[in-house]
Amino acid sequence: MLWAASLLLALPSAAPAAQGAKASQELSWRTKTDFGGKKEYGGLLLVPAGGSEWSTVLAELRKSAPPGFAVESAEASNTRAIQASVDRLQAKRVKKIVAVPLLLSSHAADMDQNRYIFGVRQFPSADFQGGPHAHAGYSVTKRARSKVEMVLTQALDDHPTLAEIVADRAQAQSKDPAREAVILVAQASKTDIDNPQWSGTVQSLTDKVRKGTRFKSVQLFLLPFDAPQDERVKTETGLRAMVKGLAAGGTAIVVPLSLGTGPERRLRKIFDGLFVKFSGKPVLPDKKIAGWVSESLESGAKLPDMRTFKKDENPPPAPLANKRTLQTSSSFPQFKDPRAVTPKPAAGTQPQAPGAAP
């Protein structure tokens, strides 16, 4: 795997000083966050729905959490599950809760719903509540209640760690990268695909995978899961045509940008009868995500309480609900993660949806 690596060359006399500074910094962090085993911060990992395959990775993430963090997990966008985890963390007397969404994009409808639950957004996501991933039985218009400060960090977006994992999935199926074309398939709602922030982030992720590997090409295909039947057939036919065309000049490798098992079943049907390498293994869960989680927890612990709205609300009227740009994280400066970089599509291209992205 071809990834840029940074080598720090220092004079022998400077090495002890550097090591001492690092040790001092680590000791400082432990002193501020760990008092005789008592956890000052609560880490709340928000994971995709229905992922039984996450149990092992979540256990590892709890063990590798930074000192001073008690860690719980909950299903993302599920108020009941999130509230139960918040209550468990408060029972441990933490002073602040940092929620880290293990989700693909910070610009998706489910993240809008998470922002509402954590008080960053005024209204619930009408797109989320009207979609197939909404939760029934407990009003999703409820917010999480907490006596301590709460922070919600960014999702994975185009972080280098995610790009590395995606590249790993492709390279695991590779024999001759110079003759192989990779297709990253992102399945999402039409609302997310039509959102230039969402599609731009996924395109940026694709660009990073392309630059970090030696494949002949790396392309993105956007596949809506909630489109009308005729549109579904059209996009699926387009994906088949892309795979068939790339396979004619070498080998086609498909990697699903999914965060759990399930979407691969649809893709296997689409690829039936085609010569394509497709393991079906999702991007997550993966143990490599531990470093990103720790980084997000530590960064989030330094941010102020993000709860701007505390009153429970119903979805806004249709005209306002349709203006998603008025209700996204960009409306709230205090939400911005200092690690985040606004994604930009590749030069001279525009994300397209649904179907192939340049």
pLDDT, tens digit, 9 for 90 and up, residues 119-149:
999 999 887 765 554 544 444 479 999 999 9
Q: Say if 215 falls within a structural domain.
A: yes
- Which residues are CB-neighbours of 23 under 8 A, at least 6 positions away? none
Q: If you count DSSP H runs as helices and E runs as strands, how many of each does the chain have, helices first?
A: 12, 10
| pLDDT at site 306 | 97
Residue with more model confidence, 357 or 264:
264
Tell me which residue of 114, 44, 94 sits closest to 73, measured CA to CA: 44
Buried b (16+ CB within 10 A) or exposed e, 112-139: bbbbbbbbbbbbbbbbbbebebbbeeee
- Which residues are CB-neighbours of 55 under 8 A, at least 6 positions away? none
Question: How many folded domains does the chain comprise?
Answer: 2
Q: Say if 264 falls within a structural domain.
A: yes
- The answer to whether the beta carbons of residues 220 and 206 sit under 8 Å apart is yes
For residue 116, the cross-strand partners are: none
pLDDT, tens digit, 9 for 90 and up, residues 80-112:
999 999 999 999 999 999 999 999 999 999 999
Helices (H), 64-141: 79-91, 109-117, 126-129
pLDDT, tens digit, 9 for 90 and up, residues 190-236:
999 999 999 999 999 999 999 999 999 999 999 999 999 999 999 99
Average pLDDT, the chain: 80
Q: Say if 4 falls within a structural domain.
A: no
- Domain around 253: 160-284+346-357
Lowest mean pLDDT among 11-25, 290-304, 309-323: 11-25
39 in the same domain as 132:
yes
The enclosing domain of 76 has a CATH number of 3.40.50
Q: Which amino acid is at 339?
A: R
pLDDT class of 356 with cuts at 50, 70, 90? low
88 in the same domain as 54:
yes
> What's 255's DSSP letter?
E
Tell me which residue of 104, 84, 214 sits closest to 146, measured CA to CA: 84
65 in the same domain as 80:
yes
